[in-house]
Structure 1
């Protein structure tokens, strides 16, 4: 299908993951099609987008790097002046305004229901299945992101891959950029990021104390930082402003990073603790050891997602890597995520094996990232589907 216009709808609730994914998709489509494709992103609110994109302002309509960003309220108020697009992406089951859909039924060609990332088996059966609208013109299809060739894949955008390559070639430069106050040699330090929901990290600090090297933890996000503040009430730490020292462990509380800055830093460090969906995928694509904190859901539904990912990574990794190391990493992922509520109670997880098997984990996740980049590229897959439609 020859398409000239693309509208992406996103409903931001209370986090940066949804807009983060939509922002990446919009940028990559723009890079691929340049001026031949007009792209609009319709958002219900701007606060989270302003936080991750320094060019965004509190405006109802604005153009950023060739992409038009519009608030949903502005769209509804001015619907009589808008033409709907050839292709519509409905991100994560958001509600597209009825005023828009009434026009789209007659004018638009393809509606893609982009679902949340999932590693569960059943998504392959639903991927690219039609969702009947009962219309002659506009057709709607499910698009199911996942970790296999038969799924919709992961967002592997060329901008991220370029950043990854640049950072790896200039690692010292980027570490100095984000650790400007550390007058130390980074080459013999273990450096990691921590971005989580509420979590008691006392067991992590105890494991790190056993290592024969100094450690730097870059603590990101209010929930992660507050979790460490609570720990500091019970242990003796040296306070250097936004940096704390506990034995040979340095903990730096980071200011909020935009999307591009976050991509730089997670590629520069040795390991990443991440949360949600967007940072989870970024951690995977770095090819570095990581631990994922899944978004908490009622009745332990989030554990189904964790188990699904464990199954997918084990299927791929077991052919070329030590199954005992894989199983220990899987146990850590389960224990780290098992909770009925987000609390600061000490969980089941133990981190000793993560650092004991660190070199093998480096090899494992490098291989896994190469597979995901080459065989599970959502951007390429979704563009191919639209063009062939």
Structure 2
């Protein structure tokens, strides 16, 4: 690897991302990288260790090419050790505590120690959490052995955190899309989904494995009106093997089968813009991870968040923290019903998830109105990218 340590520092930012769980971490960093280029004219070098998984949400990406550019973002294959020339920029971001290559740390340390040099601003972009302690940790420095400071940047739901990823025109685009039902019907047709009428209930499913999903599907079969569940090939389907007509590996996008009043549709993979529009087009969304979790909120539709399971059920602590914030302005009966559905789904409690799902009907209109109002309240007048730029300028 060759190194360029000339000064002053280049204007570009470097973002390093280790792909975890296929799409979650890279989904967040890819959205952030695109927004920083489009809205702040900041050149971004995005270093990714798994281009194959990345290509599932960016179909034009060639996993075999070590350097390529899309949406103005320079995408580099991150091998260890680095085998691509690295030029120090003004900001270096470790996404989600991924470990910077030793060569990069060495460069940062050298620039910090040289009297005529300016070291990059070094940030650790953390996972999104609604827990109280985030406010106290956001923006804190951690002094490295060399004396360089690494800053901890925590996304969050309050003004004392790093904010939430949201592109400037996203809500306007969503409102325009949802104002005309022909948009969603055209999208369903494009995805190869047949037999969906504008008045049918459509539910997107992007979850981890859980018996709660099978229980809901059994309930939906007995619905008085048609329900369509849109499910990509992946982990959600492992919960439904008892009702699938064939092995999961033999399913193909566009395939569908009907049991009672429930029709299961196998979704093709889509890029991020397509995924946003899918969430906008459904009546209810079941999502997982971080990127999809936030995009479901921006869709202004009711949702279930299937949070990544952690040891000692710590993920339920995170879930409870978010539910408390989300339900702050909700009437008690609505908050309780929605919270219990989420909790039961995450615990795999089949009886409870069915009971509380049935109770959603009585609070549906109020829950829908809350889902519409929530994005504006959650954004707190400043998105993550704008707060991040301001943080860097002030550090």
Q: Same fold (TM over 0.5)?
A: yes
- RMSD, matched Cα: 2.6
Moved more, 162-171 or 92-101: 162-171
Match of 2:45 in 1: 40
Q: Distance in 1 between matches of 2:305 and 2:236?
A: 13
Q: Distance in 1 between matches of 2:315 and 2:194?
A: 41
Q: 1:63 to 1:182 in 2, by over 3 A?
A: closer
Tell me by how many angstroms 1:354 deviates: 2.4
Match of 1:236 in 2: none
Tell me by how many angstroms 1:163 deviates: 4.1
Tell me by how many angstroms 1:182 deviates: 5.8
Q: Distance in 2 between matches of 1:376 and 1:297?
A: 30
Q: 1:3 to 1:83 in 2, by over 3 A?
A: closer
Q: Distance in 2 between matches of 1:299 and 1:157?
A: 36
Aligned counterpart for 1:228 among listed residues 230, 240, 260 = 240
Match of 1:89 in 2: 93
What secondary structure, in the 3-state scheme, does the structure 1 residue paired with 2:142 have? coil
Tell me by how many angstroms 1:128 deviates: 0.6
Match of 1:322 in 2: 331
The equivalences for 1:15-30 within 5 A come to 15-30=22-37
What TM-score, normalized by structure 2, do the two folds share? Answer: 0.86
Asked if the contact 1:195/1:221 (under 8 Å) is kept, the reply is no
Aligned counterpart for 2:206 among listed residues 170, 195, 201 = 195
Match of 2:127 in 1: 116
- Residue ranges of structure 1 left out of the alignment (5+ in a row): 234-239, 340-344
What TM-score, normalized by structure 1, do the two folds share? Answer: 0.87
Confirm or deny that 1:275 pairs with 2:288.
Answer: yes
Match of 1:237 in 2: none
Q: Distance in 2 between matches of 1:193 and 1:159?
A: 24
Tell me by how many angstroms 1:355 deviates: 3.2
Asked if the contact 2:222/2:261 (under 8 Å) is kept, the reply is no
The equivalences for 1:168-183 within 5 A come to 168-179=178-189
Moved more, 87-96 or 203-212: 203-212
Q: Distance in 2 between matches of 1:59 and 1:174?
A: 35
What secondary structure, in the 3-state scheme, does the structure 2 residue paired with 1:260 have? helix
Q: 1:20 to 1:241 in 2, by over 3 A?
A: closer
Q: Distance in 1 between matches of 2:83 and 2:193?
A: 52
The equivalences for 1:146-161 within 5 A come to 146-158=156-168, 160-161=170-171
Match of 2:358 in 1: 352
What secondary structure, in the 3-state scheme, does the structure 2 residue paired with 1:217 have? strand
Aligned counterpart for 1:54 among listed residues 54, 59, 66 = 59
Match of 2:376 in 1: 370
Moved more, 59-68 or 280-289: 59-68
Moved more, 63-72 or 2-11: 2-11
Confirm or deny that 1:98 pairs with 2:98.
Answer: no
Match of 2:226 in 1: 214
What secondary structure, in the 3-state scheme, does the structure 1 residue paired with 2:241 have? helix
Q: Distance in 1 between matches of 2:21 and 2:172?
A: 30
Match of 1:292 in 2: 305
Asked if the contact 1:147/1:376 (under 8 Å) is kept, the reply is no
Match of 1:342 in 2: none
Asked if the contact 2:193/2:265 (under 8 Å) is kept, the reply is no
Aligned counterpart for 1:167 among listed residues 177, 182, 185 = 177
Q: Distance in 1 between matches of 2:254 and 2:32?
A: 38
Q: Distance in 2 between matches of 1:82 and 1:299?
A: 41
Deviation digits for residues 25-75 of structure 1, max 9, x if unmatched?
A: 1000001233xx321011112111111102211211112232111122287
- Residue ranges of structure 2 left out of the alignment (5+ in a row): 1-8, 112-117, 246-252
What secondary structure, in the 3-state scheme, does the structure 1 residue paired with 2:144 have? coil
Asked if the contact 1:193/1:220 (under 8 Å) is kept, the reply is no
Q: 1:347 to 1:380 in 2, by over 3 A?
A: farther
What secondary structure, in the 3-state scheme, does the structure 2 residue paired with 1:224 have? helix
Q: Distance in 2 between matches of 1:358 and 1:246?
A: 25
Asked if the contact 1:273/1:290 (under 8 Å) is kept, the reply is yes
Q: Distance in 2 between matches of 1:46 and 1:338?
A: 33
Q: Distance in 2 between matches of 1:188 and 1:353?
A: 21
Tell me by how many angstroms 1:268 deviates: 1.3
